[in-house]
């Protein structure tokens, strides 16, 4: 009998990362097969048979195949001959930066209702330098620093262009959302999440208390946090 394969939480197989092992399932043709809950790089969580992802038969939740189909269907009519054969980052060698570039352009075309609402209807576009050239995009942005970074517009109402884009973490992007409530206090401008971090307190209870104080941090400190505020203010 072959030795049981050692699979640990956090192990990665192609785009799939192991979250936990589930009770084995009996398959009609192959007997009992181990099954794992895994997260794809795109964020989708599903269950996968060990035999499938270990052999390489399953490499993603399905997003990899979808992307490959999209790239195979890139034509002169749709994208003006993007040179996908020259930069070497499409077809079977899709990189995170290339996926970002494709996604950025698709969002601004408003192919879905949500995209039209947040991008097309607001007049947000991709600049001419980036629109039909992945090479220019990569030259200006560089490689993303880590797998946790994605493209972010510094001015959330501005366009996708070199002067307005950066690689940012999810936390940085959340702090940069146009819908954030900005509160002026102690000479600083911070959103609710940043003030919560300043006070070293959990976000949800802080949000509720601050809302009950009509978003006034002076009132909040008098009611809940006065001693801490002034010790912090003197630092």
User: For the chain, what is the HEC assignment?
Assistant: CCCCCCCCCCCEECCEEEEEEEEEEEECCCEEEEEEEEEECCCCEEEEEHHHHHHCCCCCCCHHHHHHHHHHCCCHHHHCCCCCCCCCCCCCCCCHHHHHHHHHHHHHHCCCHHHHHHCHHHCCCECHHHHCCHHHHHHHHCCCCCCCCEEEECCCCCCECHHHEEEECHHHHHHCCCCCCEEEECCEEEEHHHHHHHCCCCHHHHHHHHHHCCCCHHHHHHHHHHHHHHHHHCC
pLDDT of residue 36: 93
Q: Note down pLDDT in tens along the chain; length 235 residues.
A: 445 778 888 888 888 889 989 988 776 666 778 899 998 888 788 899 888 888 888 888 888 777 666 655 553 334 344 444 445 565 455 788 888 898 888 888 766 555 566 777 788 899 999 988 889 999 999 998 888 888 888 887 889 999 989 888 766 666 666 556 777 776 777 777 777 777 777 877 877 888 888 878 777 777 776 544 444 443 3
């Amino acid at each position: 009998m072959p030795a049981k394969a050692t699979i640990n939480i956090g192990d990665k197989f192609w785009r799939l990362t192991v979250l936990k092992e589930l009770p084995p399932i009996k398959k009609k043709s192959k007997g009992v097969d181990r099954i794992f809950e895994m997260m794809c790089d795109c964020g989708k969580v599903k269950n996968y048979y060990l035999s499938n992802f270990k052999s390489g038969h399953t490499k993603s939740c399905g997003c990899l195949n979808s992307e490959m189909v999209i790239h195979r269907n890139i034509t002169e009519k749709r994208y003006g001959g993007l040179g996908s054969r020259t930069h070497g980052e499409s077809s079977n060698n899709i990189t995170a930066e290339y996926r970002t570039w494709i996604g950025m352009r698709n969002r601004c075309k408003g192919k879905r209702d949500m995209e039209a609402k947040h991008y097309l209807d607001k007049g947000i576009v991709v600049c001419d330098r980036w629109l039909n050239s992945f090479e220019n995009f990569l030259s200006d942005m560089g490689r993303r620093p880590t797998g946790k970074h994605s493209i972010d517009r510094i001015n959330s109402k501005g366009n996708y262009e070199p002067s307005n884009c950066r690689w940012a973490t999810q936390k940085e992007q959340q702090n940069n959302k146009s819908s954030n409530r900005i509160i002026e206090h102690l000479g600083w401008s911070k959103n609710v999440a940043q003030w919560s971090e300043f006070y070293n307190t959990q976000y949800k209870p802080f949000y509720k208390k601050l809302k009950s104080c009509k978003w006034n941090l002076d009132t909040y400190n008098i009611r809940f946090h006065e001693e801490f505020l002034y010790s912090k203010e003197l630092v």
